[in-house]
Structure 1
């Protein structure tokens, strides 16, 4: 992988992790266009590294929230922070189960299946459009809605289904306030990413190629910096109810991906 390719893919990951347009789907499209998917193992490792970078950018943007959560947890009381943390854990269950039992099956979808990416992007477009039609409320995330949002996150493992789009849409359609939906959506994925990284490192399944270290490091930095910018921007966009614009974008890119796969 060339350094310029790593930078481009890092920027794509940083932007699309938070914008509801599917980071995994765009990464697969980017790899197909750049021809950076020659080794599936290396491709998976690079994807994990980029997701790790955006997880760190999430922590930086929500550093005050994260600090308050840990402060509340160490009080060892049934307070708001403890309840929020429990909801995060509940939301992680569906994706953790699917990732543990169906990982080998899911890897098939991360190997140049562009037509699947296109179809999933169309589904993302529909979800975003429906979410924008939902009424504005001030309702918070309940334990039941946390689990449903977690199910949406599990489905979003498929490339082309936006994780943030699916989880924010699910939360909004359940009547949760849009700003609270975005906050929960961004924070709920951080433990899963760190868990996935730890699992991959301990499993020994990842094949690291030494001469790719610089490219992967540059990709990490690109994803981290653009992730900070995209996360901050997305919070503002959610408050302004601009999901329809992303629905149109996903519709266009999805149709292009399908056309590329069929006639390209």
Structure 2
């Protein structure tokens, strides 16, 4: 992978991480179009996901600081409860990450990856379409809702299932506030991805033989970070306006194209 390919994939990752169209699926499609071998590219995927985490922190910096202030007051206040809900939502993905990490990595190294992405994008399209017909309410995210949203995030480890699409759609189907669902969806992913980056560093993934070189990783990181800043702010507005149906149509079209191309 050269730096131009890394830049294109980084921009693609940043844009699609927050839009409900599956960033992992689009990364695999991008690699296929650029003729990049899927093997040993999990490192690049982890790094560009880390870039979008950084963009999320910047966009929600005020909310994060407010939550931390509430947490360190050592009281069972609204901020502490919110953090507890995020922690609860991370349990399903943590279980998968600890016990099924190798199996997940194998999904990204199969020669049938484009076909898998295509079918999973069709599932994403169906899921998003459900939100168009769901009756909306304005209730707060409960602990039960947080765990269910966390389970939806776990399903999104499959390439082609949009993480933001799955979590936001699940939150909306549970009748939660649109603005709160979007914020919760983006904040709940911070710790799992940061943890994956730290774990990969300790395991020596970034310096292992056959991994992506440093320059493409750096360029991809910058591209994903800048495009992520724009996409994150845009997605919050789109969720409030309830325009996810257009992404359902998009995922349907791209999914069919991926299947036929495979």
The TM-score normalised by the length of structure 1 is 0.95
Partner of 2:229: 228
Partner of 1:44: 42
Partner of 2:187: 187
SS in 2 for 1:135: coil
Partner of 1:74: 72
Partner of 1:168: 168
- C-alpha displacement of 1:136: 2.3
Q: Does the C-alpha gap of structure 1 residues 209 and 258 become closer, same or farther in structure 2, counting only changes over 3 Å?
A: closer
Query: Alignment partner for residue 93 of structure 1, among 91, 97, 106?
Result: 91
- Any conservation in 1 of the 2:59–2:229 contact (CA below 8 Å)? yes
Is 1:104 the counterpart of 2:105? The answer is: no
CA-based RMSD of the aligned residues comes to: 1.3
Partner of 1:126: 126
Deviations 1:118-141 (A, max 9, x none): 000000001100012222221111
User: How do 1:192-211 and structure 2 match up within 5 A?
Assistant: 192-206=192-206, 207=208
- C-alpha displacement of 1:208: 6.2
Question: Following TM superposition, where does structure 1 have runs of at least 4 consecutive aligned residues deviating by more than 2 angstroms?
Answer: 203-206, 208-211
- C-alpha displacement of 1:213: 1.2
Structure 1 Cα separation of the partners of residues 242 and 211 of structure 2: 45
The TM-score normalised by the length of structure 2 is 0.96
Query: Alignment partner for residue 55 of structure 2, among 29, 54, 57?
Result: 57
SS in 2 for 1:117: helix
- Any conservation in 1 of the 2:44–2:212 contact (CA below 8 Å)? no
- Any conservation in 1 of the 2:153–2:167 contact (CA below 8 Å)? yes
Deviations 1:157-199 (A, max 9, x none): 0100000000001111111111111110000000111111111
Partner of 1:116: 116
Structure 1 Cα separation of the partners of residues 190 and 212 of structure 2: 29
- C-alpha displacement of 1:12: 0.7
Q: Does the C-alpha gap of structure 1 residues 210 and 253 become closer, same or farther in structure 2, counting only changes over 3 Å?
A: closer
Partner of 1:260: 261
Partner of 2:249: 248
